[in-house]
Amino acid sequence: MGFPIVRHRRLRQSAGIRNMVRETHLNVSDFIQPIYVTYGTGVKQEISSMPGVYRFSLDTLKEEVQEIAELGIPAVLLFGIPDTKDAVGSSAYAENGIVQEATRLIKSWYPDLLVIADTCLCEFTDHGHCGMIHTHERDGHVCVDVLNDESLELLVKTAVSQAEAGADIIAPSNMMDGFVGAIRAGLDEAGFTHIPIMSYSVKYASGFYGPFREAADSAPQYGDRKAYQMDPANAREALREAETDVLEGADMLMVKPSLSYLDVMRTIKDQFDLPLVAYNVSGEYAMVKAAAINGWIDEEKVAMEILLSMKRAGADMIITYYGKDAARWLAVR
């Protein structure tokens, strides 16, 4: 049976019918809004490569958090830019570290707003790598080894101090082997058996993190992250990464970046039954923003189409710098 009996356009002829047969929906409850927190007072500093995204000091943070909460966005993801950095990222696990302080404040203002803490060292180390490093020279070049097992201990300390400050969910993004298991054991030992781990399970060594590294001042001072983040060419490897995280006790799996990895998201969704998180990263935001500012695309249409594509690929929630805008756009639809 085919044309003229079959006519696909019957189900596209009016808004009413289109709404009725729509397969995928975006909802404000899908979004997680990232926030950059920094030291100082009165800081609300726009990130030049991410127009509309700011670094906030603790005293300017409340207005931003209020806006997010009032829009009905259920969760924020915190990134900290500390005042001091060292080789072992001490500010990441300091009791009065910037993420810890911001977490306490946000939970005191909005107890129901979920605070997700990104657990990594790159914003806190002077060398910008996600763990402890060992450097040596070869043919006049500095070579960097990011030490896996030694770094786990610091990451566990970071996660525990974030939980102590009141973080609702721990989101480790460092890509060391065994990080989920180590953090799970550390949290449990510290009495945080109830705190879920949202694992950055499948995280690629991506050019799309460029604007983030400006925002968080976390670009590696030498070398790159290819020895711990995944090769963009590999999809089957994503299954192995996700599988070990599941075995180590991850509660949610993430694929990052998202837009160029929708195929990987679909595969992970079909193979595993944990909630799946898409991270619509800084570079994906910056591209849309730049084209929109130039008048080359319709920002709302394109941003919403991208977010929808992530839901269609299987995401249960989306970390996105477009969270606030998308919540507003959805409210007037």
The set of catalytic residues is 203, 256
Does residue 325 contact residue 303 with C-beta atoms inside 8 Å? yes
Does residue 168 contact residue 114 with C-beta atoms inside 8 Å? yes
282 is in an annotated binding site: yes
Given 100, 173, 199, 320, the residue binding ligand PBG (CB under 6 A): 173
Stretch that binds ligand PBG, among 23-31, 40-48, 53-61, 114-122 (CB under 6 A): 114-122
36 is in an annotated binding site: no
Spatial separation of the C-alpha atoms in residues 267 and 272, rounded to whole Å:
9
Does residue 200 contact residue 278 with C-beta atoms inside 8 Å? no
Q: How far is the CB of 118 from ligand PBG (least distance, A)?
A: 5
Stretch that binds ligand PBG, among 58-66, 100-108, 115-123, 242-250 (CB under 6 A): 115-123
Token pair in block for residue 75: 């969760």
Token pair in block for residue 230: 């995944």
Q: How far is the CB of 207 from ligand PBG (least distance, A)?
A: 10
99, 141, 152, 252 from 196: Cα distances, Å: 18, 41, 18, 8
Give me the residue label for tokens 């909005």.
110
Which residues, 6+ apart, have CB-to-CB distance to 244 below 8 Å? Answer: 177, 180
Does residue 72 contact residue 28 with C-beta atoms inside 8 Å? yes
153 is in an annotated binding site: no
Token pair in block for residue 91: 């500010």
Does 282 participate in binding ligand PBG (rule CB under 6 A)? yes
Does residue 132 contact residue 212 with C-beta atoms inside 8 Å? no
Stretch that binds ligand PBG, among 14-22, 117-125, 177-185, 231-239 (CB under 6 A): 117-125
Does 259 participate in binding ligand PBG (rule CB under 6 A)? no
143 is in an annotated binding site: no
Q: Which residue lies nearer to ligand PBG by CB, 18 or 286?
A: 286
Does 91 participate in binding ligand PBG (rule CB under 6 A)? no
Does 209 participate in binding ligand PBG (rule CB under 6 A)? yes
Q: How far is the CB of 19 from ligand PBG (least distance, A)?
A: 32
Spatial separation of the C-alpha atoms in residues 266 and 252, rounded to whole Å:
15
Spatial separation of the C-alpha atoms in residues 146 and 131, rounded to whole Å:
6
Given 32, 92, 102, 122, the residue binding ligand PBG (CB under 6 A): 122
- Structure letter (DSSP) for residue 208: G
Does 212 participate in binding ligand PBG (rule CB under 6 A)? yes
Does 326 participate in binding ligand PBG (rule CB under 6 A)? no
* Residue 331 main-chain phi, psi, to 5 deg: -65, -30
Does 197 participate in binding ligand PBG (rule CB under 6 A)? no
Which residues, 6+ apart, have CB-to-CB distance to 233 below 8 Å? Answer: none
Question: Under rule CB under 6 A, how many of the chain's residues touch ligand PBG?
Answer: 10
Given 118, 168, 245, 248, the residue binding ligand PBG (CB under 6 A): 118
Amino acid letter at 318? I
Q: How far is the CB of 123 from ligand PBG (least distance, A)?
A: 7
Q: Which residue lies nearer to ligand PBG by CB, 212 or 329?
A: 212
How many secondary structure helices (H) and strands (E) does the chain include? Answer: 11, 12
200 is in an annotated binding site: no
Per CB under 6 A, residues contacting ligand PBG are 118, 120, 122, 130, 173, 209, 212-213, 281-282
Annotated binding-site residue numbers: 120, 122, 130, 213, 225, 241, 282, 321
**Residue numbering of the annotated binding site for Zn(2+):** 120, 122, 130
